[in-house]
Amino acid sequence: MVSVGIVGGTGYTGSELLRLLATHPQAHVRCVTSRTDAGQRVDDLLPLLRGHLDLRFTEPDSAPLADCDLVFFATPNGTAMYQAPALLDADVRVIDLAADFRIKDVALWERWYGMEHVAPALVDEAVYGMPELRREEVRSARLVANPGCYPTAITLGLLPLLEAGRAEPKGIVADGKSGVSGAGRKASANLLMSEVGESFKAYSVAGHRHCPEIEQTLGLATHQPIQLTFVPHLVPMIRGIEATLYVTLRESGEDLDELFRKRYADEPFVDVVPSNLALDTRSVRGSNMCRLQVMEPGGRGVAVVQSVIDNLVKGAAGQAIQNMNLMFGLDESAGLGSVALAP
């Protein structure tokens, strides 16, 4: 049984970790931290856990994190880098669901995240936790940088084309759409339902911090510089990401569907959907699945890839648990067998 600690259990990512771990057959949540709600029962704040978890939130400074086998950081960017070094020194493995260890160029990270990195020595060691790309490295990792939600959807959608040399690495366009839970649980007027409902908007058009993460990941995987234009949009739903990707093909008329099927044939959480079926975010809501669809409309030399994930599961907590399973030699799918919710 893997003993688990969670730093930051009250946000959407932290509560999703708790939801999934509550029925995990080989993991036990030892402690959950929260400065604001310390002393309060976890299932009072998160009633979905009633009957599944008998714990109170603990102050981070007094939580027995060093006694855990693994600690998840479901915290804002810039938190894990302060606490991870001491945990690693205590032989505790760490998965950071924020961005502290994702970008290998520390100066680039500091520019995008607007703060000094206090643990740069750990950045090189951290394994980027995308099992479809780094499965063997994750198995032996002490520190895993869990990918962002948009980077997960976009990278999985582009990887087969770029790995096989079928697409140009420049001029790629990623049109992403996300539900409001992607912005976190913090109170914000522009995320109120009366502000988001019946509306649709792009944001961070001038540059989004997930763009360098995606370009780095694809560049390292394909050994070539990647040039991506990424524009995210906010849509009036709670969960889900849909990314529509446009890539220039080097040769027209190839069987792209077969390429994707071969690439992901052995992946438990990637499903390549035939082009005659509709693809929507509801088909993955609440599950750890990424569903992909690829086609070349009109045979005009441009591949269009659609990618859908639940941003809180495959885009965050589910992928983190998938990484935990690999790190401790468990069945990779343990605790992640939920079928999507519909309607």
Residue 149 appears among annotated catalytic residues:
yes
The answer on 206 and 118 residing in a single domain is: no
> What is the value of pTM for the model shown?
0.96
Question: Is 331's pLDDT higher than 70?
Answer: yes
3-class secondary structure for 25-85?
CCEEEEEEECCCCCCCEHHHHCHHHCCCCCCEEECCCCCCHHHCCEEEECCCCCCHHHHHH
**Rounded-to-integer distance, Cα 25 and Cα 171, Å:** 45
Q: Is residue 334 part of a domain?
A: no
Average pLDDT of the residues in 144-159:
98
Judged by phi (left if over 0) then psi (alpha if -120 to 50, else beta), residue 336 lies in alpha
| pLDDT, the chain, mean | 96
Which amino acid would we find at residue 47?
Answer: P
Question: For tokens 């520390």, what's the residue?
Answer: 106
What is the distance of C-alpha 9 from the center of its chain?
Answer: 17
Write out the residue range of the structural domain in which residue 180 sits.
150-311
Question: Is 17's pLDDT higher than 70?
Answer: yes
pLDDT tens for each residue of 162-173: 999 999 999 999
The answer on 86 and 28 residing in a single domain is: yes
Residue in 31, 149, 211, 290 annotated catalytic: 149
The answer on 307 and 159 residing in a single domain is: yes
The answer on 212 and 91 residing in a single domain is: no
What is the distance of C-alpha 166 from the center of its chain?
Answer: 26
Calculate what percentage of the chain has a pLDDT beyond 70. 100
The answer on 104 and 52 residing in a single domain is: yes
Calculate what percentage of the chain has a pLDDT beyond 90. 92
pLDDT, residue 187, reads 65
Q: Which of 13, 56, 10 is nearest to 36 (CA)?
A: 10
**Rounded-to-integer distance, Cα 317 and Cα 13, Å:** 6
Token readout for 236 is 């009036």
The answer on 158 and 304 residing in a single domain is: yes
The answer on 160 and 106 residing in a single domain is: no
What's the total number of domains in the chain? 2
The answer on 245 and 154 residing in a single domain is: yes
Q: Is residue 75 part of a domain?
A: yes
> What is the CATH number for 62?
3.40.50.720
Average pLDDT of the residues in 277-284:
96
Question: Is 189's pLDDT higher than 90?
Answer: no
Q: Is residue 155 part of a domain?
A: yes
pLDDT tens for each residue of 283-301: 999 999 999 999 999 999 9
Average pLDDT of the residues in 179-189:
79
Average pLDDT of the residues in 222-246:
96
**Rounded-to-integer distance, Cα 27 and Cα 324, Å:** 9
pLDDT tens for each residue of 246-268: 999 999 999 999 999 999 999 99
Question: Is 245's pLDDT higher than 80?
Answer: yes
The answer on 179 and 48 residing in a single domain is: no
pLDDT tens for each residue of 59-94: 988 899 999 999 999 999 999 999 999 999 999 999
